[in-house]
Amino acid sequence: MSNTAAIVGGGVIGGGWAARFLLNGWNVKVFDPDPESERKMGEVLANARIGLPMLYDCALPDEGRLTRHKSISDAVRESAWVQESVTERLELKHKVISEIQAENPNVAIGSSTSGFKPSELQDNAVNPGRILVAHPFNPVYLLPLVELVPSRSTSDHAIETAKRILSSIGLSPLLVRREIDAHIADRFLEAVWREALWLVKDGIATTREIDDAIRYGFGIRWAQMGLFETYRVAGGEMGMRHFMSQFGPALKWPWTKLMDVPELTDELVNMIAEQSDRQSGHVSIRELERKRDRNLIAIMRALKQQGTAAGRLVKEHQKRMRPQLASAKPIISTRRTIPCDWTDINGHMNEGRYGQIFSDAAEEIMAFIGADDDYIAAGMSYFTVETTIRYINETHAGEMVEVHTLVTQGEGKKLRCFHELKRMENNDLLATCDQMMLHVSLTTRRTCTPADHVREKVEELAALHAEDIS
């Protein structure tokens, strides 16, 4: 039962859930009677297999096994988690949940619903305590937020199971304190959507202009700081209290129409649809999805480098996934996918990123010999003093690569490594790097002798690798 998830409903959201689980090493069992489901889910999976690995600087676990099933009972049997993502019809969800619990009454069931409360889902259920809302955000395989909404009937065990499982696949479960219509995030989205409809209807702005206002302005701020922290900064040195005293009175002004919504007449629907077609109708939905994914990856990787917001979650998940190195000839010091933000105008990896990937490999070797985070915090490390890189073949975004490392010199203050970057698909040699490092004191910023346990490990590797050095 462990590490097997069942997905009931294989549309865009169900496909995203399947991808998130599969690419984190879980086996996934799918039920969806739609004859087009396999194609639709396949397209979502194709995007996910390109996108998700680019967030990380190490390889994801080996992909799990995907199987499709002709009945709900077959799909949920012996599954540790069930994600329900069927159409937003309460009677259909009740029927699906009933079939799930008839086969597997104790499994935790998460519903992707954006509108129904968990107490509504639990009506007449055999085991209501195992049911809760687990509402994700599209694309599920990239965006980390999932709203966990229990009712008073939901068991603590189901909540803790949901937190544990969803965190393990890189998601950030947000426990909603009390069930409410549309949960948390969609209430904000609905408010913005209502105001946008009025702005279009009243001829104030087009769909493109509204999108520009979001993506060029506050949307970027919200992406890395959220709402309240953004306004705290806006308050200057005096913080949130000053912001609220300065801008609070504006809340009484008749700026927005959030308590009202324009009637969705044929005229308004046609106006919005036509503007949207002019804005992006020349681009296919799949192309828009790929553009969206590349933008999200670039933003989240930038946030990861700073260790903040969604990037912090990726960084922490990456740390949990990093494999332990083992003494070998050579050591596989890096295994990863090349991200989309590493390419240049020629469409291949920028030369600076070769230095990055070899630097990352060297840091893995340092950690392996004992010069890890604790060692550095104690005031000692290795500094690179010389590198020679040879560029042999092109490297492209989305390719899975490995760095093979030999310790070619390990004595006294010196640590010298020879790295080979290889394409995993065909073992083609892409680049090499000869890297010389010297041990230093971070207090004096001068060379010094390494601690005994580090020196001994370096000497051990140098001896092991000596016979493989040509």
pLDDT digits (tens, 9 = 90+) for 274-309: 999 999 989 888 898 999 999 999 999 999 999 999
Q: Which helix (H) or strand (E) holds 162?
A: helix 156-168
φ, ψ of residue 447 to 5 degrees: the values are -65, 150
User: Token digits for 182?
Assistant: 């549309």
**pTM for the full predicted model:** 0.88
Task: Please choose, from the candidates 435, 412, 432, the residue with its C-alpha nearest in 3D space to the C-alpha of residue 422.
Answer: 432
Task: Please choose, from the candidates 382, 442, 388, the residue with its C-alpha nearest in 3D space to the C-alpha of residue 414.
Answer: 382
Furthest CA-CA distance within the chain: 79
Angle between helices 285-306 and 37-51 (to 10 degrees): 30
Least confident of 124-138, 148-162, 272-286, 337-351: 272-286
d(CA 299, CA 220): 9
| Residue 117 C-beta-side C-alpha neighbours within 13 Å | 12
pLDDT tens digit string along 47-106? 999 999 999 999 999 999 999 999 999 999 999 999 999 999 999 999 999 999 999 999
φ, ψ of residue 281 to 5 degrees: the values are -70, -15
Residue 269 pLDDT exceeds 80:
yes
d(CA 334, CA 361): 6
Type of residue numbered 388: T
Residue 1 pLDDT exceeds 60:
no
Q: Give just the sign of the alpha carbon dihedral 83, 88, 90, 93.
A: negative
